[in-house]
Amino acid sequence: MRDRPEGFDEGLLRPALREWGIDAGTVDYAPVGFGDYHWVADGRWFVTVSDVRRKSYEELRPAMDTALALREEAGLGFVVAPLRAADGATLRRLDRHRYAMSVFPLVDGAVGHFGQEPAAEVRGLVIDLLAELHGTPAPISTPVRPVELAGRAWLEDSVRESNRPWLGGPYAEPARGLIADHAGTLRRRLEELDRLAEKGGEPVVTHGEPHPGNLLRAGDRRLSLVDWDTVGLAVPERDLWHVARGAADLARYSDLTGRTPAPAALELYRLRWALDDVAEFVAWFRSPHGRTPDAEQGWKGLSATLDELAR
């Protein structure tokens, strides 16, 4: 995030880092990613602060525990996992209600960005990683990721209320207008989501968001996956739709795993991602917000996603 976290005392970071045995001399804000907030401590550690009003602490903690188990116990070296604090925790609250922190090793490498189209060679490497991940027994801490849309009730309520003024900030009314214009599309797409979700498959451990923005590349062929807060049990297509672009990619996965991806499940998760984005953006713009760089990026994301759903 380019915006700094609202109402957060950055003076909490250094004392909290001592729980990991880190007496940091420098703690510099890193305006990267979209969703969490990041700092680099002494050029060696990557500190992530999450707003647990948006990401439930009770869901985030087992996700962090799972990422660490996948690396330490299952031996998946491509997992960039959090470090344990002195008491063994992978996630610690920084205050009573809103913010929690994890600490990661700072790994050198180049990171892509969401929406970037990876080359065939890179897609193949990612599919290889996913095949290994999907074949790994699930750690006991692994959360279940239901196919149901978490923000569905909020989204449907926003469609119903798109004929009334919205409050919250500078993007509230423009967002209301967009939702009103796309109300029919959203209703149809939600019905389509229900039809696609009628059939399920065998769940595996999935990353949830293996797009280029979460791929760290060091050297010619070495890839790592970051941002494991969405790890969980679901069908493989939850990951594969991000990566596979044709029959060759799907065949590579099938050859490695013996599982044939289902086209309907790939479409289900592609659609679910878009609807989930719309729900999150609408929740943001119907809440107090300002005209900030992150809000502007969110506005562009909402507009682009609704256009994509209409197509």
Asked whether the predicted pLDDT for residue 220 surpasses 70, the reply is no
Same domain flag for 89 and 181: no
Same domain flag for 140 and 248: yes
Query: What's the token pair of residue 59?
Result: 């869901």
**Is 62:139 a contact under the CB 8 Å cutoff?**
no
Domain containing residue 257:
111-311
Asked whether the predicted pLDDT for residue 263 surpasses 70, the reply is yes
Same domain flag for 102 and 169: no
Same domain flag for 57 and 189: no
Domain limit, last residue, from 106, 136, 161: 106
Rounded (10°) angle between helices 293-310 and 263-285? 140
On average, the pLDDT of the chain sits at: 93
Q: CB-hemisphere CA count at 13 Å for 126?
A: 30
Asked whether the predicted pLDDT for residue 221 surpasses 70, the reply is no
Please state whether the predicted TM-score (pTM) of the whole model is above 0.75: yes
Asked whether the predicted pLDDT for residue 278 surpasses 80, the reply is yes
Please state the domain count of the chain.
2
Q: Give the residue-averaged pLDDT of 267-281.
A: 96
Same domain flag for 165 and 278: yes
Same domain flag for 140 and 282: yes
Same domain flag for 87 and 176: no
222 beta partners: 218
Q: Give the residue-averaged pLDDT of 239-261.
A: 96
Domain limit, last residue, from 41, 75, 106: 106
Same domain flag for 299 and 169: yes
- pLDDT digit string (tens) for 151-190? 999 899 999 999 999 999 999 999 999 999 999 999 999 9
